[in-house]
Structure 1
Amino acid sequence: MNANKVPLSENGRPSYLARLLDVLDVAVTHEHAPLPMSEIAAAAEVPVSTASRLLNLLCEHGFLVSIPGSGYAAGPRLLHVAMRATEQLHDADRLKAAVEALAAETGESVSAGLLVGEQIVLVARKESPHSLRAVARVGDIIAPHTSAMGKAVLSCLPAERRTTVIRAAIGDGVDEALAGLADELAQASADGYAVDEGTYTVGLRCRAAALLDRNGHAVGGLSIAGPAARFTPQRAQESLPALRAQVATLSLTPRSTA
Protein backbone atom coordinates (compact mmCIF):
# COMPACT_ATOMS: atom_id res chain seq x y z
CA MET A 1 0.00 0.00 0.00
CA ASN A 2 1.53 3.35 -1.00
CA ALA A 3 0.63 5.76 1.78
CA ASN A 4 1.70 8.70 -0.37
CA LYS A 5 -1.29 8.07 -2.62
CA VAL A 6 -3.89 7.63 0.14
CA PRO A 7 -5.99 10.71 0.99
CA LEU A 8 -5.53 11.63 4.64
CA SER A 9 -8.03 13.00 7.13
CA GLU A 10 -7.25 15.96 9.37
CA ASN A 11 -5.64 13.71 12.00
CA GLY A 12 -3.14 12.40 9.44
CA ARG A 13 -4.72 8.96 9.09
CA PRO A 14 -6.20 7.50 5.91
CA SER A 15 -9.71 8.83 5.40
CA TYR A 16 -12.72 6.54 5.78
CA LEU A 17 -13.40 6.85 2.04
CA ALA A 18 -9.81 5.90 1.23
CA ARG A 19 -10.13 2.83 3.44
CA LEU A 20 -13.42 1.90 1.78
CA LEU A 21 -11.79 2.04 -1.65
CA ASP A 22 -8.76 0.07 -0.46
CA VAL A 23 -10.98 -2.68 0.97
CA LEU A 24 -13.00 -2.84 -2.26
CA ASP A 25 -9.81 -2.97 -4.33
CA VAL A 26 -8.29 -5.79 -2.28
CA ALA A 27 -11.51 -7.80 -2.17
CA VAL A 28 -11.85 -7.79 -5.95
CA THR A 29 -8.31 -7.67 -7.36
CA HIS A 30 -6.16 -9.63 -4.90
CA GLU A 31 -4.47 -12.55 -6.64
CA HIS A 32 -5.93 -15.00 -4.11
CA ALA A 33 -9.46 -13.54 -4.09
CA PRO A 34 -12.02 -14.30 -2.80
CA LEU A 35 -10.57 -13.62 0.65
CA PRO A 36 -12.08 -13.81 4.13
CA MET A 37 -12.49 -10.62 6.15
CA SER A 38 -9.30 -11.03 8.19
CA GLU A 39 -7.12 -11.36 5.10
CA ILE A 40 -8.80 -8.40 3.39
CA ALA A 41 -8.17 -6.31 6.51
CA ALA A 42 -4.50 -7.32 6.55
CA ALA A 43 -3.95 -6.66 2.85
CA ALA A 44 -5.76 -3.31 2.98
CA GLU A 45 -3.92 -2.38 6.20
CA VAL A 46 -7.07 -1.56 8.16
CA PRO A 47 -8.31 -2.88 11.54
CA VAL A 48 -10.57 -5.91 11.36
CA SER A 49 -13.38 -3.96 12.99
CA THR A 50 -13.13 -1.28 10.31
CA ALA A 51 -12.94 -3.89 7.54
CA SER A 52 -16.09 -5.51 8.93
CA ARG A 53 -18.04 -2.25 8.76
CA LEU A 54 -16.77 -1.42 5.29
CA LEU A 55 -17.43 -4.88 3.89
CA ASN A 56 -20.97 -4.83 5.29
CA LEU A 57 -21.53 -1.41 3.69
CA LEU A 58 -20.24 -2.61 0.32
CA CYS A 59 -22.45 -5.70 0.49
CA GLU A 60 -25.51 -3.63 1.44
CA HIS A 61 -25.02 -1.51 -1.68
CA GLY A 62 -24.36 -4.46 -3.98
CA PHE A 63 -20.70 -3.75 -4.70
CA LEU A 64 -19.63 -6.99 -3.01
CA VAL A 65 -21.29 -10.26 -2.09
CA SER A 66 -20.38 -12.55 0.80
CA ILE A 67 -19.74 -16.14 -0.25
CA PRO A 68 -20.20 -18.51 2.72
CA GLY A 69 -17.04 -20.45 3.50
CA SER A 70 -15.03 -18.54 0.90
CA GLY A 71 -14.96 -14.76 1.31
CA TYR A 72 -16.06 -11.68 -0.57
CA ALA A 73 -16.45 -11.25 -4.33
CA ALA A 74 -17.63 -8.63 -6.80
CA GLY A 75 -21.34 -7.91 -6.47
CA PRO A 76 -23.95 -7.12 -9.15
CA ARG A 77 -23.67 -3.35 -8.79
CA LEU A 78 -19.90 -3.41 -9.19
CA LEU A 79 -20.19 -5.66 -12.24
CA HIS A 80 -22.74 -3.27 -13.73
CA VAL A 81 -20.35 -0.35 -13.22
CA ALA A 82 -17.44 -2.33 -14.68
CA MET A 83 -19.42 -3.35 -17.76
CA ARG A 84 -20.60 0.20 -18.41
CA ALA A 85 -17.04 1.46 -18.03
CA THR A 86 -15.80 -1.19 -20.46
CA GLU A 87 -18.37 -0.06 -23.03
CA GLN A 88 -16.86 3.43 -22.89
CA LEU A 89 -13.32 2.29 -23.63
CA HIS A 90 -11.53 3.48 -26.73
CA ASP A 91 -12.89 1.17 -29.47
CA ALA A 92 -13.19 -1.79 -27.09
CA ASP A 93 -14.47 -4.21 -29.74
CA ARG A 94 -11.75 -3.24 -32.20
CA LEU A 95 -9.07 -3.60 -29.53
CA LYS A 96 -10.27 -7.10 -28.71
CA ALA A 97 -10.41 -8.05 -32.39
CA ALA A 98 -6.89 -6.70 -32.97
CA VAL A 99 -5.52 -8.62 -29.99
CA GLU A 100 -7.09 -11.89 -31.15
CA ALA A 101 -5.93 -11.43 -34.74
CA LEU A 102 -2.37 -10.63 -33.72
CA ALA A 103 -2.25 -13.57 -31.30
CA ALA A 104 -3.49 -15.93 -34.03
CA GLU A 105 -0.87 -14.63 -36.46
CA THR A 106 2.10 -14.75 -34.08
CA GLY A 107 1.17 -17.63 -31.78
CA GLU A 108 2.21 -15.56 -28.76
CA SER A 109 0.35 -13.67 -26.02
CA VAL A 110 -0.95 -10.28 -27.08
CA SER A 111 -2.18 -7.42 -24.88
CA ALA A 112 -3.85 -4.07 -25.40
CA GLY A 113 -3.59 -1.35 -22.78
CA LEU A 114 -5.06 2.12 -22.45
CA LEU A 115 -3.67 5.13 -20.63
CA VAL A 116 -6.38 5.82 -18.04
CA GLY A 117 -5.46 8.91 -16.06
CA GLU A 118 -1.78 8.33 -15.35
CA GLN A 119 -1.84 4.52 -15.43
CA ILE A 120 -1.68 2.01 -18.26
CA VAL A 121 -4.50 -0.49 -17.74
CA LEU A 122 -4.70 -3.82 -19.55
CA VAL A 123 -8.07 -3.84 -21.34
CA ALA A 124 -7.78 -6.80 -23.74
CA ARG A 125 -5.68 -9.96 -23.64
CA LYS A 126 -5.29 -13.16 -25.64
CA GLU A 127 -3.06 -15.82 -24.17
CA SER A 128 -0.75 -17.94 -26.28
CA PRO A 129 -1.97 -21.52 -26.79
CA HIS A 130 1.44 -22.76 -25.59
CA SER A 131 1.64 -24.04 -22.03
CA LEU A 132 4.80 -21.98 -21.41
CA ARG A 133 3.71 -18.34 -21.32
CA ALA A 134 3.51 -15.30 -19.08
CA VAL A 135 -0.04 -14.86 -17.81
CA ALA A 136 -1.64 -11.44 -17.37
CA ARG A 137 -5.22 -10.40 -16.73
CA VAL A 138 -7.51 -7.66 -17.97
CA GLY A 139 -7.47 -4.92 -15.36
CA ASP A 140 -3.78 -5.33 -14.52
CA ILE A 141 -1.77 -2.10 -14.22
CA ILE A 142 1.20 -2.13 -16.57
CA ALA A 143 4.48 -0.68 -15.30
CA PRO A 144 5.41 2.17 -17.65
CA HIS A 145 9.16 2.05 -17.01
CA THR A 146 9.88 -1.70 -17.24
CA SER A 147 7.45 -3.02 -19.85
CA ALA A 148 7.66 -2.75 -23.63
CA MET A 149 4.10 -1.40 -23.72
CA GLY A 150 4.93 1.20 -21.11
CA LYS A 151 8.04 2.33 -22.95
CA ALA A 152 6.12 2.53 -26.23
CA VAL A 153 3.52 4.74 -24.55
CA LEU A 154 6.12 6.94 -22.84
CA SER A 155 8.00 7.42 -26.11
CA CYS A 156 4.91 9.05 -27.63
CA LEU A 157 3.93 11.36 -24.78
CA PRO A 158 4.78 15.03 -24.25
CA ALA A 159 7.56 15.50 -21.67
CA GLU A 160 5.27 16.79 -18.93
CA ARG A 161 2.77 13.94 -19.27
CA ARG A 162 5.61 11.43 -19.42
CA THR A 163 6.84 12.72 -16.09
CA THR A 164 3.43 12.45 -14.42
CA VAL A 165 2.96 8.88 -15.66
CA ILE A 166 6.35 7.84 -14.27
CA ARG A 167 5.68 9.64 -10.98
CA ALA A 168 2.35 7.84 -10.58
CA ALA A 169 4.20 4.52 -10.90
CA ILE A 170 7.30 5.06 -8.77
CA GLY A 171 6.81 8.19 -6.68
CA ASP A 172 10.20 9.78 -6.05
CA GLY A 173 13.17 9.34 -8.34
CA VAL A 174 11.41 10.43 -11.54
CA ASP A 175 14.38 12.34 -12.93
CA GLU A 176 16.70 9.38 -12.43
CA ALA A 177 14.20 6.99 -14.00
CA LEU A 178 13.70 9.18 -17.05
CA ALA A 179 17.44 9.63 -17.46
CA GLY A 180 17.87 5.86 -17.39
CA LEU A 181 15.15 5.43 -20.00
CA ALA A 182 16.25 8.26 -22.30
CA ASP A 183 18.11 6.14 -24.84
CA GLU A 184 15.40 3.45 -24.97
CA LEU A 185 12.61 5.99 -25.42
CA ALA A 186 14.53 7.82 -28.13
CA GLN A 187 15.07 4.52 -29.95
CA ALA A 188 11.41 3.55 -29.55
CA SER A 189 10.33 6.92 -30.93
CA ALA A 190 12.62 6.52 -33.92
CA ASP A 191 11.67 2.88 -34.60
CA GLY A 192 7.95 3.17 -33.90
CA TYR A 193 8.07 0.28 -31.41
CA ALA A 194 9.60 -0.51 -28.02
CA VAL A 195 11.59 -3.51 -26.82
CA ASP A 196 11.74 -5.42 -23.55
CA GLU A 197 14.28 -8.16 -23.02
CA GLY A 198 13.49 -9.69 -19.65
CA THR A 199 13.10 -6.46 -17.67
CA TYR A 200 9.39 -6.76 -16.97
CA THR A 201 9.61 -10.52 -16.34
CA VAL A 202 12.81 -12.55 -16.45
CA GLY A 203 12.93 -14.73 -19.56
CA LEU A 204 10.19 -12.82 -21.38
CA ARG A 205 10.73 -11.01 -24.70
CA CYS A 206 8.25 -8.32 -25.74
CA ARG A 207 7.65 -5.93 -28.61
CA ALA A 208 5.08 -3.12 -28.35
CA ALA A 209 3.85 -0.06 -30.19
CA ALA A 210 1.76 2.90 -29.06
CA LEU A 211 -1.80 3.66 -30.09
CA LEU A 212 -2.01 7.33 -31.03
CA ASP A 213 -4.58 10.10 -30.95
CA ARG A 214 -4.99 12.76 -33.64
CA ASN A 215 -2.11 14.74 -32.15
CA GLY A 216 0.26 11.81 -32.37
CA HIS A 217 0.23 11.28 -28.59
CA ALA A 218 -0.13 7.85 -27.01
CA VAL A 219 -3.49 6.78 -25.65
CA GLY A 220 -2.43 3.18 -25.12
CA GLY A 221 -0.40 0.38 -26.59
CA LEU A 222 -0.39 -3.06 -28.17
CA SER A 223 2.21 -5.67 -27.25
CA ILE A 224 3.35 -9.18 -28.19
CA ALA A 225 5.14 -11.25 -25.55
CA GLY A 226 6.57 -14.72 -25.33
CA PRO A 227 9.31 -16.74 -23.63
CA ALA A 228 12.69 -15.70 -25.03
CA ALA A 229 13.56 -19.30 -25.85
CA ARG A 230 10.58 -19.54 -28.23
CA PHE A 231 9.96 -15.91 -29.16
CA THR A 232 13.47 -15.50 -30.52
CA PRO A 233 14.92 -12.19 -31.77
CA GLN A 234 14.21 -13.33 -35.33
CA ARG A 235 10.58 -14.21 -34.54
CA ALA A 236 10.16 -10.95 -32.65
CA GLN A 237 11.46 -9.06 -35.66
CA GLU A 238 9.16 -11.00 -37.97
CA SER A 239 6.16 -10.04 -35.81
CA LEU A 240 6.71 -6.30 -36.27
CA PRO A 241 4.85 -5.84 -39.60
CA ALA A 242 1.70 -7.40 -38.10
CA LEU A 243 2.06 -5.31 -34.95
CA ARG A 244 2.51 -2.12 -36.95
CA ALA A 245 -0.45 -2.93 -39.16
CA GLN A 246 -2.80 -3.41 -36.22
CA VAL A 247 -1.54 -0.25 -34.51
CA ALA A 248 -1.98 1.76 -37.70
CA THR A 249 -5.56 0.53 -37.97
CA LEU A 250 -6.39 1.40 -34.37
CA SER A 251 -4.59 4.74 -34.13
CA LEU A 252 -6.32 7.97 -35.06
CA THR A 253 -3.02 9.12 -36.53
CA PRO A 254 -2.04 6.69 -39.32
CA ARG A 255 1.39 5.06 -39.18
CA SER A 256 3.40 3.50 -41.92
CA THR A 257 3.24 -0.30 -41.87
CA ALA A 258 6.37 -0.70 -43.95
Structure 2
Amino acid sequence: MADHGGSMGLSQLATASNLPLPTIHRIVRTLVDLGYLRQEPSRRYALGPRLIRLGESSSTMLSTWARPQLTHLVDELGESANLAMLDADQIVYVAQVPSRHSMRMFTEVGRRVSPHCTAVGKAVLATLPQRTVQEILQRTGMPQQTEHTITDPGVLARQLELTAERGYAIDDGEQELGVRCVAVAVPDAPARLALSISGPGTRVTDALVERAVPLLTDAARALSVELDGRAARA
Protein backbone atom coordinates (compact mmCIF):
# COMPACT_ATOMS: atom_id res chain seq x y z
CA MET A 1 0.00 0.00 0.00
CA ALA A 2 2.80 2.39 0.87
CA ASP A 3 4.31 1.85 -2.58
CA HIS A 4 0.94 2.65 -4.20
CA GLY A 5 0.23 5.96 -2.51
CA GLY A 6 -1.14 4.51 0.73
CA SER A 7 -4.50 3.29 -0.58
CA MET A 8 -5.60 0.20 -2.56
CA GLY A 9 -8.66 -1.91 -3.30
CA LEU A 10 -8.96 -5.59 -2.42
CA SER A 11 -8.54 -6.76 -6.00
CA GLN A 12 -5.41 -4.62 -6.39
CA LEU A 13 -3.99 -6.10 -3.20
CA ALA A 14 -4.74 -9.61 -4.36
CA THR A 15 -3.01 -9.00 -7.69
CA ALA A 16 0.02 -7.29 -6.14
CA SER A 17 0.50 -9.97 -3.47
CA ASN A 18 -0.44 -12.95 -5.67
CA LEU A 19 -2.79 -14.18 -2.93
CA PRO A 20 -6.41 -15.32 -3.30
CA LEU A 21 -9.06 -12.64 -2.74
CA PRO A 22 -10.62 -14.42 0.30
CA THR A 23 -7.19 -14.60 1.95
CA ILE A 24 -6.57 -10.91 1.29
CA HIS A 25 -10.00 -10.07 2.70
CA ARG A 26 -9.26 -11.92 5.96
CA ILE A 27 -5.85 -10.30 6.32
CA VAL A 28 -7.23 -6.83 5.63
CA ARG A 29 -10.08 -7.25 8.12
CA THR A 30 -7.58 -8.31 10.81
CA LEU A 31 -5.37 -5.28 10.08
CA VAL A 32 -8.41 -2.98 10.20
CA ASP A 33 -9.41 -4.41 13.58
CA LEU A 34 -5.86 -3.80 14.87
CA GLY A 35 -5.78 -0.23 13.54
CA TYR A 36 -3.05 -0.75 10.95
CA LEU A 37 -5.48 -0.20 8.07
CA ARG A 38 -8.75 1.71 7.72
CA GLN A 39 -11.59 1.45 5.24
CA GLU A 40 -12.43 4.55 3.24
CA PRO A 41 -15.96 5.56 2.13
CA SER A 42 -14.99 4.40 -1.38
CA ARG A 43 -14.48 0.92 0.17
CA ARG A 44 -10.77 1.07 -0.65
CA TYR A 45 -8.35 0.44 2.19
CA ALA A 46 -5.73 2.89 3.43
CA LEU A 47 -2.86 2.86 5.89
CA GLY A 48 -4.15 3.35 9.43
CA PRO A 49 -3.16 5.50 12.42
CA ARG A 50 -1.58 2.61 14.37
CA LEU A 51 1.28 2.69 11.87
CA ILE A 52 2.34 6.13 13.12
CA ARG A 53 3.74 4.63 16.29
CA LEU A 54 5.55 1.92 14.32
CA GLY A 55 6.95 4.54 11.97
CA GLU A 56 8.23 6.69 14.82
CA SER A 57 9.86 3.66 16.44
CA SER A 58 11.50 2.47 13.22
CA SER A 59 12.76 5.97 12.42
CA THR A 60 14.39 6.17 15.85
CA MET A 61 16.07 2.79 15.34
CA LEU A 62 17.24 3.72 11.83
CA SER A 63 18.73 6.94 13.18
CA THR A 64 20.65 5.01 15.83
CA TRP A 65 21.94 2.39 13.40
CA ALA A 66 22.96 4.97 10.77
CA ARG A 67 24.70 7.41 13.13
CA PRO A 68 28.19 5.81 12.92
CA GLN A 69 28.10 5.98 9.12
CA LEU A 70 26.77 9.55 9.10
CA THR A 71 29.39 10.67 11.63
CA HIS A 72 32.15 9.12 9.53
CA LEU A 73 30.92 11.02 6.45
CA VAL A 74 30.95 14.33 8.36
CA ASP A 75 34.46 13.61 9.69
CA GLU A 76 35.76 12.83 6.21
CA LEU A 77 33.92 15.42 4.14
CA GLY A 78 33.05 18.21 6.57
CA GLU A 79 29.44 18.63 5.40
CA SER A 80 26.12 17.56 6.91
CA ALA A 81 25.22 13.91 6.33
CA ASN A 82 21.62 12.69 6.01
CA LEU A 83 19.60 9.50 5.86
CA ALA A 84 16.24 9.71 4.11
CA MET A 85 13.48 7.27 3.21
CA LEU A 86 10.71 7.13 0.62
CA ASP A 87 7.44 7.08 2.55
CA ALA A 88 4.44 6.72 0.23
CA ASP A 89 5.12 9.50 -2.33
CA GLN A 90 7.38 11.69 -0.22
CA ILE A 91 10.93 11.68 1.05
CA VAL A 92 11.22 11.89 4.84
CA TYR A 93 14.50 12.63 6.58
CA VAL A 94 15.05 10.10 9.37
CA ALA A 95 18.56 10.97 10.59
CA GLN A 96 21.20 13.66 10.30
CA VAL A 97 24.64 14.51 11.66
CA PRO A 98 25.26 18.24 11.07
CA SER A 99 28.43 19.77 9.71
CA ARG A 100 30.78 21.43 12.18
CA HIS A 101 31.04 24.53 10.00
CA SER A 102 29.42 27.66 11.40
CA MET A 103 27.49 27.98 8.12
CA ARG A 104 25.89 24.62 7.52
CA MET A 105 22.80 22.95 6.15
CA PHE A 106 20.36 21.72 8.77
CA THR A 107 17.49 19.48 7.73
CA GLU A 108 14.99 18.77 10.47
CA VAL A 109 14.50 15.06 11.07
CA GLY A 110 10.92 14.26 10.09
CA ARG A 111 10.83 16.84 7.33
CA ARG A 112 9.00 15.73 4.20
CA VAL A 113 9.91 16.84 0.69
CA SER A 114 9.07 15.86 -2.87
CA PRO A 115 11.40 13.24 -4.35
CA HIS A 116 11.90 14.88 -7.77
CA CYS A 117 13.83 17.89 -6.44
CA THR A 118 16.16 16.27 -3.91
CA ALA A 119 19.30 14.19 -4.38
CA VAL A 120 18.06 11.54 -1.93
CA GLY A 121 14.73 11.41 -3.75
CA LYS A 122 16.30 11.03 -7.16
CA ALA A 123 18.70 8.38 -5.85
CA VAL A 124 15.70 6.37 -4.63
CA LEU A 125 13.56 6.98 -7.74
CA ALA A 126 16.40 5.70 -9.92
CA THR A 127 16.05 2.28 -8.25
CA LEU A 128 12.32 1.98 -8.99
CA PRO A 129 10.56 0.66 -12.10
CA GLN A 130 9.75 3.41 -14.59
CA ARG A 131 6.00 2.88 -14.24
CA THR A 132 6.20 3.26 -10.45
CA VAL A 133 8.13 6.52 -10.87
CA GLN A 134 5.52 7.81 -13.32
CA GLU A 135 2.70 7.00 -10.90
CA ILE A 136 4.48 8.81 -8.06
CA LEU A 137 5.08 11.89 -10.22
CA GLN A 138 1.46 11.93 -11.37
CA ARG A 139 0.30 11.97 -7.76
CA THR A 140 2.80 14.58 -6.53
CA GLY A 141 2.60 16.88 -9.54
CA MET A 142 6.32 17.80 -9.49
CA PRO A 143 5.92 21.20 -7.76
CA GLN A 144 8.56 23.85 -8.49
CA GLN A 145 10.58 24.77 -5.39
CA THR A 146 13.24 26.99 -7.00
CA GLU A 147 14.13 28.26 -10.44
CA HIS A 148 16.35 25.17 -10.82
CA THR A 149 13.69 22.56 -9.97
CA ILE A 150 13.10 19.98 -12.70
CA THR A 151 9.39 20.02 -13.56
CA ASP A 152 9.50 18.17 -16.90
CA PRO A 153 8.98 14.38 -16.47
CA GLY A 154 11.07 13.69 -19.56
CA VAL A 155 14.03 15.69 -18.28
CA LEU A 156 13.78 13.97 -14.90
CA ALA A 157 13.59 10.54 -16.56
CA ARG A 158 16.88 11.20 -18.37
CA GLN A 159 18.47 12.38 -15.14
CA LEU A 160 17.29 9.23 -13.36
CA GLU A 161 18.84 7.13 -16.11
CA LEU A 162 22.13 8.98 -15.56
CA THR A 163 21.79 8.49 -11.81
CA ALA A 164 21.31 4.73 -12.23
CA GLU A 165 24.27 4.55 -14.61
CA ARG A 166 26.77 6.45 -12.45
CA GLY A 167 25.41 5.37 -9.05
CA TYR A 168 24.68 8.74 -7.47
CA ALA A 169 22.29 11.70 -7.73
CA ILE A 170 22.85 15.46 -7.53
CA ASP A 171 20.54 18.23 -6.33
CA ASP A 172 21.98 21.57 -7.45
CA GLY A 173 19.77 24.20 -5.82
CA GLU A 174 16.60 22.37 -6.87
CA GLN A 175 15.05 22.16 -3.39
CA GLU A 176 16.72 25.19 -1.81
CA LEU A 177 18.71 27.91 -3.56
CA GLY A 178 22.42 27.83 -2.83
CA VAL A 179 22.36 24.29 -1.47
CA ARG A 180 24.01 21.38 -3.25
CA CYS A 181 23.58 17.71 -2.32
CA VAL A 182 24.93 14.38 -3.53
CA ALA A 183 23.24 11.09 -2.61
CA VAL A 184 23.39 7.34 -3.15
CA ALA A 185 20.71 4.72 -2.55
CA VAL A 186 21.19 2.14 0.20
CA PRO A 187 21.22 -1.24 -1.60
CA ASP A 188 19.09 -4.21 -0.52
CA ALA A 189 17.53 -2.25 2.37
CA PRO A 190 14.15 -3.18 3.88
CA ALA A 191 12.90 0.29 2.86
CA ARG A 192 13.79 2.70 0.06
CA LEU A 193 16.67 4.56 1.73
CA ALA A 194 19.37 6.97 0.59
CA LEU A 195 22.40 8.63 2.19
CA SER A 196 23.53 12.13 1.26
CA ILE A 197 25.79 15.00 2.14
CA SER A 198 24.59 18.57 1.73
CA GLY A 199 26.10 22.02 2.06
CA PRO A 200 26.51 25.41 0.41
CA GLY A 201 27.22 25.17 -3.29
CA THR A 202 30.45 27.08 -2.77
CA ARG A 203 31.78 24.20 -0.64
CA VAL A 204 30.10 21.19 -2.28
CA THR A 205 32.20 21.53 -5.41
CA ASP A 206 32.67 18.95 -8.17
CA ALA A 207 35.93 17.98 -6.48
CA LEU A 208 34.13 17.33 -3.19
CA VAL A 209 31.43 15.34 -5.00
CA GLU A 210 34.17 13.19 -6.55
CA ARG A 211 35.56 12.50 -3.07
CA ALA A 212 32.11 11.99 -1.55
CA VAL A 213 30.67 9.39 -3.94
CA PRO A 214 32.93 6.45 -2.96
CA LEU A 215 32.58 7.33 0.74
CA LEU A 216 28.78 7.51 0.44
CA THR A 217 28.75 4.23 -1.51
CA ASP A 218 30.82 2.48 1.16
CA ALA A 219 28.61 3.93 3.93
CA ALA A 220 25.46 2.79 2.13
CA ARG A 221 26.81 -0.74 1.76
CA ALA A 222 27.85 -0.85 5.41
CA LEU A 223 24.41 0.34 6.51
CA SER A 224 22.78 -2.27 4.27
CA VAL A 225 24.85 -5.02 5.90
CA GLU A 226 23.94 -3.67 9.35
CA LEU A 227 20.22 -3.64 8.56
CA ASP A 228 20.37 -7.09 6.97
CA GLY A 229 22.17 -8.48 10.00
CA ARG A 230 19.60 -7.04 12.38
CA ALA A 231 16.77 -8.39 10.27
CA ALA A 232 18.36 -11.85 10.30
CA ARG A 233 18.79 -11.75 14.09
CA ALA A 234 15.17 -10.69 14.49
- 1:72-95 deviation digits (Å, cap 9, x = unpaired): xxxxxx9xx967533324744222
1 CA distance for matches of 2:53 and 2:99? 25
**Any conservation in 2 of the 1:118–1:164 contact (CA below 8 Å)?**
no
Q: What amino acid does structure 2 have at the position aligned with 1:96?
A: R
Distance 2:81 2:97 in 1: 5
Tell me which structure has the larger Cα radius of gyration: 1
Alpha-carbon offset, residue 205 of structure 1 = 1.6
Offset at residue 190 of structure 1 (A): 0.3
Q: Structure 2 CA distance, aligned partners of 1:186 and 1:179? A: 11
Change (3 A) 1:134 1:158: same
Q: CA RMSD in A?
A: 2.9
CA shift, 1:142, in A, is 2.6
Alpha-carbon distance in structure 1 between the residues aligned to 2:105 and 2:122: 19
Instruction: Measure, in 1, the Cα distance between the counterparts of 2:175 and 2:90.
Output: 16
Asked if 1:186 corresponds to 2:161, the answer is yes
What's the offset of the Cα at 1:204?
1.5
1:170 to 141, 158, 166: 141
Tell me the residue number matched to 1:98. Answer: 69
C-alpha deviation, 1:118, in angstroms: 2.3
**Once the 2 structures are TM-superposed, how far is the Cα of residue 106 of structure 1 from its aligned partner?**
1.1
Amino acid at match of 1:120: I
* TM-score (ref. length: structure 2): 0.64
Q: Could you say which residue in structure 2 is the equivalent of 1:87?
A: 57
- Could you tell me which residue of structure 2 aligns to residue 223 of structure 1? 196
Residues 51-200 of structure 1: matches in 2 within 5 Å?
85-89=55-59, 91-170=62-141, 177-200=152-175
Q: How many residue pairs get matched?
A: 170
Classify 1:171/1:144 alpha carbon distance in 2 versus 1 (closer, same or farther; 3 Å): closer
Moved more, 181-190 or 82-91: 82-91
What secondary structure is seen at the aligned counterpart in 2 of 1:225? strand
Provide the identity percentage. 31
Q: Which ranges in structure 2 are unaligned for 5 or more consecutive residues?
A: 6-48, 144-150, 226-234
Whichever residue aligns with residue 116 of structure 2, its letter is H
**CA distance, structure 2, for counterparts of residue 104 and residue 82 of structure 1:** 33
Unmatched runs of 5 consecutive residues or more in structure 1: 6-77, 253-258
The letter of the residue matching 1:233 is D
Contact preservation (8 Å) 1:119, 1:168? no
> How big is the shift at 1:180?
1.9
In the superposition, the TM-score normalised over structure 1's length comes to 0.58
Identify which of structures 1 and 2 has the higher relative contact order when contacts are C-alpha pairs closer than 8 Å and 6+ apart.
2
Alpha-carbon separation, structure 2, partners of 1:171 and 1:233: 26
Amino acid at match of 1:105: E
Partner of 1:27: none
Distance in 2, matches of 1:248 and 1:205, equals: 23
